[in-house]
């Protein structure tokens, strides 16, 4: 099981800015190990963000996203108590979901 995401919310006038920090190696598949062989790609491929259970954004990522990925986006029309949840899935089938409440 991978480490939890760190999700920070900041709400101003019904717009909630969501900052997400994920814990993942994000091996690009371009690097060579000491034995000269390419280190296989290991990356988060699919990301989805939900607002009160409704998907509001999805993303597809390649090996070009940095290690321990950071992402920021903003949801419109939020109110205190709303639930924001983020899910990621990597190319090894590992996945993780974390959620936070709008304050």
Partner 1 sequence: MQLRFEEMMNTRRNALIKGTALSALLLESLMRAEDSFAYQQSAFDAKTVAELNKSLGLSVPLESSQISLLTPEIAENGAVVQVAATTTLANVRRWIFLVEKNPIPLVAIFNLTEDVLPSITARCKFAQTSDFIAYAQLADGRVYYNKKEVKVTLGGCGG
d(CA 87, CA 94): 11
CB nearer partner 1, residue 67 or residue 103: 67
CB nearer partner 1, residue 1 or residue 33: 33
d(CA 67, CA 7): 17
Q: Which tokens sit at 60?
A: 């597809």
Q: How many residues bind partner 1 (CB under 8 A)?
A: 32
Q: Which residues pair with 99 in a beta bridge?
A: 85
CB nearer partner 1, residue 27 or residue 98: 27
Q: Which tokens sit at 86?
A: 């983020």
Which residues 40-79 are close enough to bind partner 1 by CB under 8 A? 45-46, 49, 51, 54-67, 69-77
- Interface residues toward partner 1, by CB under 8 A: 15, 28, 30-32, 45-46, 49, 51, 54-67, 69-77
């Amino acid at each position: 099981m991978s480490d939890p995401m760190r999700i920070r919310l900041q709400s101003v006038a019904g717009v909630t800015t969501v900052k997400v920090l994920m814990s993942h190696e994000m091996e690009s598949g371009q690097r060579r190990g000491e034995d000269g062989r390419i280190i296989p790609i290991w990356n988060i491929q699919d990301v989805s963000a939900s607002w009160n259970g409704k998907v509001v954004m999805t993303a597809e990522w390649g090996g070009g996203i940095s290690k321990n990925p950071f992402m920021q986006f903003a949801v419109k029309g939020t109110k205190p108590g709303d639930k924001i949840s983020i899910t990621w899935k990597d190319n090894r089938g590992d996945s993780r979901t974390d959620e936070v409440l709008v304050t």
